[in-house]
Amino acid sequence: MTARYYIMLGAPGAGKGTQAKQISEELGLPHISSGDLFRHHLGEGTELGVLAKKFMDSGELVPDDVTIGMVQERLEQDDCSEGAILDGFPRTPAQAEAIELLADQLGGKVAKALYLDVNKALLVERLSGRWVCPDGHVYHTVYHPPKKPGICDIDGLELYQRDDDKKETVEHRITVYLEQTAPLIAYYRERGTLATVDGDQDIEQVQQSLLQEIG
Ligand code: AP5
Ligand code: MG
């Protein structure tokens, strides 16, 4: 079977991680988040994690060569043989070219870029109330509270707030997204693989819209 790569595109707080986790279960493809991979490296204290932290804390993108190498290594693992749901990658034109090439090398293709279109005021509200678990499950104090405060429903791990969800960093991350990542919307539109979904809807409605687009 040809490997299929689905790309979740959208601003910080758009809901990429929330939706990717659910789509991953629906389609039986692994959820690969570049941000989660960096945070995992940081937790393990690797050189790559320490390097990435400097960029993440300031809301800047980690350099392309480092990011592409890390994602490539992950996509070459056996559990990705049928494809993956990519969340937060690609984020620059160079990364978009890299995934085209890599998908081809791995005997697959980018099936669709799923763009979550969300109003800016909602992004800030979503990020300020976000709590995450070390395994990447995502909660929100109002929109998606855990059953037991501070504890992940799925694996019982302790939830925490991300360092880069401070208000000033969030504003900068949104600016960086608009400058460096938003041009990918046109890139995928031109290739005929873009699907735009109204990400302002509630979590379940967004999920239904995405599954319709995936078909
Ligand atoms: P990353 O971890 O990818 O962060 P991000 O893109 O800024 O996106 P977020 O994770 O903040 O948002 P999300 O869209 O996943 O939203 P979520 O589902 O959590 O990247 C972090 C950093 O790593 C970057 O700044 C960069 O430094 C580096 N990096 C990562 N990838 C890189 C790359 N490719 N190249 C270079 N550098 C890279 O939802 C947010 C909140 O809203 C949650 O609380 C959730 O419960 C809630 N929510 C979600 N959907 C809804 C809804 N429909 N209604 C109401 N609430 C909702
Ligand atoms: Mg995320």
pLDDT exceeds cutoff 90 at 174: yes
In a domain, 28, yes or no: yes
* The model's pTM: 0.96
Å from CA of 12 to ligand 1 middle:
4
Q: Angle formed by the axes of helices 64-75 and 34-44, to 10°?
A: 90
94-to-127, 184, 187 alpha-carbon distances in Å: 27, 10, 12
- What three-state secondary structure class fits 25? helix
Per the structure, the complete domain to which residue 110 belongs is given by 3-119+175-214
pLDDT exceeds cutoff 70 at 1: no
Note the pLDDT tens digit of each residue in 110-135.
999 999 999 999 999 999 999 999 98
54 is catalytic: no
191 is catalytic: no
CA dist 59 and 177 (Å) reads 10
In a domain, 134, yes or no: no
Q: Which residue type is seen at 44?
A: E
Å from CA of 63 to ligand 2 middle:
18
Note the pLDDT tens digit of each residue in 63-88.
999 999 999 999 999 999 999 999 99
Domain count, the chain: 1
In a domain, 128, yes or no: no
16 is catalytic: yes
CATH of the domain at 40: 3.40.50.300
- The binding-site residues of ligand 1, defined as CB within 6 angstroms of any ligand atom, are 10, 12-18, 34-35, 38, 55-56, 59-62, 67, 88-89, 91, 95, 126-127, 129-130, 138-140, 143-144, 164, 173, 202-203, 206
